[in-house]
Amino acid sequence: MKKKTLKSLIKPYSSGWISVASDYTKVIAWEKSLPSLIKKLKELKNPNGVMMNIASDYSQYAG
Does any domain span residue 37? yes
Does any domain span residue 60? no
What own/partner pairs with CB < 8 Å and gap ≥ 24 does 59-63 have?
Answer: none
Does any domain span residue 61? no
- Domain holding 16, by residue range, is 6-54
Q: How many residues does the chain have?
A: 63
Does any domain span residue 62? no
Q: What is the pTM of this model?
A: 0.78
Does any domain span residue 59? no
Does any domain span residue 26? yes
Does any domain span residue 25? yes
Collapsing DSSP to helix, strand or coil, 9 comes out as helix
Q: Considering its fold, how many domains does the chain have in total?
A: 1
> What band does 2 get if pLDDT is binned at 50, 70 and 90?
low
Q: Give pLDDT tens digits for 4-63.
A: 788 888 889 888 999 999 988 899 999 999 999 999 999 999 889 999 999 776 666 565
Q: Give pLDDT tens digits for 42-56.
A: 999 988 999 999 977
